[in-house]
């Protein structure tokens, strides 16, 4: 028994690093924007199209490919997707054509789409306890922001010293090595965990349509909340270094390093919010609202941030990261999973995948919207911060309206676990 728990722990570590590297592929695009804007002579509108190229195939395949991912072996799916996404990123360094650049970004986004549901699927098949599964998903939710923090430092440093194109090679090599390890470990895990079961039992099956899944009580309200959260998150995720550089006056190296504090807060947000939830069930609403308030405070202070050096900017970004990305990982990992599995439905993975995919519409529209707002030269960045503050408020309100259903499902979930124990 002890050996099995140790193996499960090692598996969680592997998945954590896998999804961490997924965001080491995605995050550098926000830093590359600073360099390619002048190098390729791009407008703000074209920079916004890069976000669209990444997130449109990412969201579309998460929605349309949910059944497909369930039928594929994870030991093939995860290594292939991680390597393909990293290879597409590396190929960006070989082109100076904007159209080809966007095409490669789109391929990378499509390759990243199955990784989150695939990781959830592995955890679901490897961990018997619902309580332990929820905790594991919460920890996995911190991996993207740890990856974003790591890549912010690494890519900013390499880009400043050697140029942005050199950083893509190292990211690809790391992903290729981890993909090789995943192939071996996940194949071994599937044989050990599912010994004595048929292959089809290892795969997830349910007969629920997309419409039926969206009609599950609480899902639509949670979906709306996550959509606004992702809008705010991706605005900061894809534009933060440029905002710090062009509006606050930091150098690009400083902007890249300071922006990493957003991801430090985000990485701690999931585990920290999970701890708060054990004492205050409505803490998610409060945390989201605080994040919106901090965005308004940033707007009010404006360029004064730079006058007190990078410390104030780092503190604000840490709090915003905690308040935005912490709820995102908990809602889109633990809560959606519980809603999907409530009343014996056993479709938590599919609900998680669909909510994560549809909510990515928030990320899709942020690129064109931000690029449009930035055409107002005198107040463009102020409008951007105002919009994400408003989005945070709407997210808090949407989640608050779903709170009774979530509390009811959570109580049943806890009673079920207690009766088993």
Q: How confident is the model over 219-236, as a mean pLDDT?
A: 87
Helix (H, G, I), strand (E, B) or coil at 141: coil
Q: Is the pLDDT confidence value at 379 over 60?
A: yes
**139: CB partners within 8 A, 6+ apart:** 12, 16, 270, 271
Confidence band of 17 (pLDDT split at 50, 70, 90): very high
Does the residue 384 lie in any domain? yes
Confidence band of 200 (pLDDT split at 50, 70, 90): very low
Average pLDDT, the chain: 77
Rounded to the nearest angstrom, the gap between the alpha carbon of residue 223 and the centroid of all alpha carbons in its chain is: 15
69 φ, ψ to 5°? -60, -35
Confidence band of 5 (pLDDT split at 50, 70, 90): very low
pLDDT, residue 136, reads: 76
Does the residue 290 lie in any domain? yes
Q: What is the pTM of this model?
A: 0.72
pLDDT higher for 11 or 191? 11
**CB 263, CB 146: distance < 8 Å:** yes
pLDDT, residue 83, reads: 94
Tokens of 116: 């989150």
Token pair 């104030």: residue: 312
Does the residue 421 lie in any domain? no
**CB 61, CB 353: distance < 8 Å:** no
**Percent of residues, the chain, with pLDDT higher than 70:** 76
Highest mean pLDDT among 1-10, 224-233, 273-282: 224-233
Does the residue 172 lie in any domain? yes
Distance CA 150, CA 16 (A): 14
Q: Is the pLDDT confidence value at 156 over 50?
A: yes
Helix (H, G, I), strand (E, B) or coil at 332: helix
Distance CA 150, CA 170 (A): 13
Does the residue 419 lie in any domain? no
pLDDT, residue 173, reads: 94
Does the residue 420 lie in any domain? no
Q: How confident is the model over 362-389, as a mean pLDDT?
A: 82
Rounded to the nearest angstrom, the gap between the alpha carbon of residue 102 and the centroid of all alpha carbons in its chain is: 20
Tens digit of each residue's pLDDT (9 = 90 or more) over 31-49: 888 888 888 888 878 888 8
Quote the number of domains for the chain: 1
CATH of residue 31: 1.20.1250.20
Does the residue 307 lie in any domain? yes
What is the residue range of 294's domain? Answer: 2-414
């Amino acid at each position: 028994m002890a050996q099995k728990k140790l193996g499960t722990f090692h598996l969680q570590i592997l998945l954590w690093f896998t999804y961490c590297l997924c965001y080491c592929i995605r995050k550098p695009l926000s830093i590359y924007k600073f360099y390619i804007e002048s190098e390729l002579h791009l407008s703000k509108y074209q920079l916004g199209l890069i976000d669209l190229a990444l997130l449109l195939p990412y969201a579309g395949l998460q929605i349309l490919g949910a059944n497909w991912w369930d039928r594929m072996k994870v030991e093939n799916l995860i290594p292939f997707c991680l390597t393909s996404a990293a290879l597409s990123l590396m190929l960006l360094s070989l082109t100076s054509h904007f159209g080809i650049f966007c095409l490669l970004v789109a391929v990378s986004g499509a390759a990243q789409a199955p990784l989150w549901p695939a990781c959830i699927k592995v955890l679901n098949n490897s961990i018997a306890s619902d309580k332990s599964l929820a905790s594991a998903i919460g920890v996995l939710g911190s991996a993207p922001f740890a990856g974003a923090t790591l890549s912010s430092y690494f890519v900013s440093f390499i880009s400043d010293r050697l140029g942005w194109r050199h950083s893509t090679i190292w990211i690809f090599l790391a992903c290729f090595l981890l993909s090789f390890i995943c192939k071996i470990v996940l194949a071994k895990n599937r044989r050990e965990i599912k010994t004595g079961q048929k292959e089809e039992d290892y795969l997830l099956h349910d007969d629920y349509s997309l419409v039926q899944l969206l009609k599950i009580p609480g899902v639509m309200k949670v979906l709306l909340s996550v959509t606004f959260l992702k809008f705010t998150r991706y605005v900061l995720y894809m534009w933060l270094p440029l905002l710090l550089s062009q509006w606050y006056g930091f150098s690009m190296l400083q902007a890249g390093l300071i922006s990493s504090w957003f991801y430090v807060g985000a990485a701690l947000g999931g585990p920290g919010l999970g701890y708060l939830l054990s004492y205050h069930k409505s803490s998610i609403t409060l945390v989201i609202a605080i994040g919106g308030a901090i965005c308004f405070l940033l707007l009010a202070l404006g360029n004064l941030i730079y006058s007190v050096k990078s410390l104030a900017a780092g503190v604000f970004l840490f709090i915003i990261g905690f308040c935005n990305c912490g709820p995102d990982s908990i809602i889109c990992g633990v809560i959606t999973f519980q809603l999907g599995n409530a009343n014996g439905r056993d479709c938590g993975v599919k609900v998680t995948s669909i909510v994560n995919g549809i909510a990515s519409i928030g990320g899709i529209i942020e690129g064109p919207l931000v690029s449009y707002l930035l055409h107002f030269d005198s107040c463009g960045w102020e409008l951007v911060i105002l919009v994400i503050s408003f989005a945070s408020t709407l997210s808090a309100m949407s989640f608050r309206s779903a709170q009774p259903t979530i509390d009811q499902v959570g109580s049943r979930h806890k009673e079920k676990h207690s009766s088993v124990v």
